Amino acid sequence: MGLFGRTIVTFLPFAPRFIVGWVAKRYTAGESLEEALEVMGGLSSEGACFTIDVLGEEIKSIDESQWFIDEYESVIDSIVDSGVDANISIKPTALGLLIDEQLALSNIERIVRKAAGNDIFVRLDMEDNRVTQATIDAAVSIQNKGLENIGVVLQGRLFRTPDDISKVSNLLGRNSDFRICKGIYLEPPEISHTSYIDIVDATNRAIDLMLDSGSYTAIASHDIPVIDHALESLQKRGLGPGKEDPRHNPTVPVRKGKGPGYEFQFLLGVRGNIRRDLSRKGHRTRIYLPYGEKWYEYGMRRLRENPGVAVHVTKSLLMPWTNRR
């Protein structure tokens, strides 16, 4: 599978842009906010809520961050005006984290404050290991300023993740809010698990640690072993559809747009059949919905970083019935 994926990635840049676009349109919601709102309108009937992500990251100059600030403020206004059940996800490097950490923190805080004023949650996305600690520090720092509508993403593949769960949950207590995923970035073996089974096992352990810490746990995985493990772990801890979160006394009120202590998350265009099934059973399900003009760069970068994704893309093209949107 590794060689097959790498072969696809090698030849894909030579394919006409419209072919790449035809592949990408399944996994992105268009180039504009208007297109993204239209996609969400069509999927809302399936019982899903959304996380909106503006495509783009790792800007070259701090001046570029202003465009992202303006765009995210427009996204927040559109969520309010349309009434769509959505929150937002931002990549810290798009706001200058690798250029000026303090200015990036100020940029992030500005967006989080506007979102807080409209009761909208902000997920601080996790990128590669260069910014892992700085991203966690940013989320904690903003929470310490009284803005509780922010949480961070952690990646199951990293060796450090169990310690990060412990530290963040101890610092933030009942306000700690995680999204756990395997992680798209291929990190070196000195700091991360590299085999599929090890990454799955580590992700499952991270889910258990998050649940046991009392944190809000957003389970972001398309892997059946991870989803099955999460369902068993939720049941063991008395968490589930229609139940109050039993991990806190007094009970933590359910935040607008959130589930009772947990939710399941899926990328747009992936495992739609499983997402719909979970939703029918009463679980809160969320679709990660990226949009923007950087769709080509986003898709090609993700494929270069993780050629295994190319296998899933090819399978969905050749056997589309296996991966309904």
Domain CATH number, residue 80:
3.20.20.220
50: three-class secondary structure by DSSP? strand
Is there a contact between 70 and 110 (Cβ–Cβ < 8 Å)? no
147: three-class secondary structure by DSSP? coil
Going by pLDDT thresholds of 50, 70 and 90, the confidence category of residue 283 is very high
Is residue 322 included in any domain, yes or no? no
pLDDT at 301: 60
Mean pLDDT over 25-54 rounds to 91
Going by pLDDT thresholds of 50, 70 and 90, the confidence category of residue 59 is very high
Is residue 151 included in any domain, yes or no? yes
pLDDT at 323: 47
CA distance 51 to 34: 15
For 29, 286, 287, 295, the CA distances from 26, given in Å and listed in that order, are: 8, 16, 13, 11
Greater model confidence, 102 or 15 = 102
Which DSSP symbol is given to 261?
S
Reported as type and span, the H/E element at residue 126 is none
Q: Per residue in 265-297, is it b (16+ CB within 10 Å) or e — as a string?
A: bbbbbbbbebbbebbeeebbbbbbbbbbebbee
245: three-class secondary structure by DSSP? coil
Going by pLDDT thresholds of 50, 70 and 90, the confidence category of residue 12 is low
pLDDT at 270: 84
Is residue 16 included in any domain, yes or no? no
Statement: residue 30 has pLDDT above 60: yes
Is residue 278 included in any domain, yes or no? yes
Going by pLDDT thresholds of 50, 70 and 90, the confidence category of residue 21 is low
Is residue 168 included in any domain, yes or no? yes
Query: What contacts 265, CB < 8 A, 6 or more positions away?
Result: 51, 179, 218, 219, 220, 285, 286, 287, 288
Is there a contact between 90 and 149 (Cβ–Cβ < 8 Å)? no
Statement: residue 187 has pLDDT above 70: yes
CA distance 147 to 113: 7
Is residue 319 included in any domain, yes or no? no
Q: How many domains does the chain have?
A: 1
Which amino acid would we find at residue 21? Answer: G
Going by pLDDT thresholds of 50, 70 and 90, the confidence category of residue 259 is very high
**Considering the chain, what is the average pLDDT of its residues?**
89
Which amino acid would we find at residue 179? Answer: R
Is residue 2 included in any domain, yes or no? no
Proportion of the chain above pLDDT 90, given as a percent: 73
Please give the distance of CA 172 from its chain centroid, rounded to a whole number. Answer: 20
Please give the distance of CA 88 from its chain centroid, rounded to a whole number. Answer: 9
* Across 102-106, 187-191, 315-319, least confident range: 315-319
For 77, 111, 157, 208, 255, the CA distances from 121, given in Å and listed in that order, are: 13, 10, 25, 23, 9
Statement: residue 78 has pLDDT above 70: yes
pLDDT at 24: 62
pLDDT at 249: 85
Is residue 47 included in any domain, yes or no? yes
Instruction: List phi, psi (to 5°) of 130.
Output: -60, -30
Mean pLDDT over 278-295 rounds to 92
pLDDT at 305: 52
51: three-class secondary structure by DSSP? strand
Alpha helices in 250-294 (DSSP H): 272-280
Domain residues for the domain of 287 are 29-291
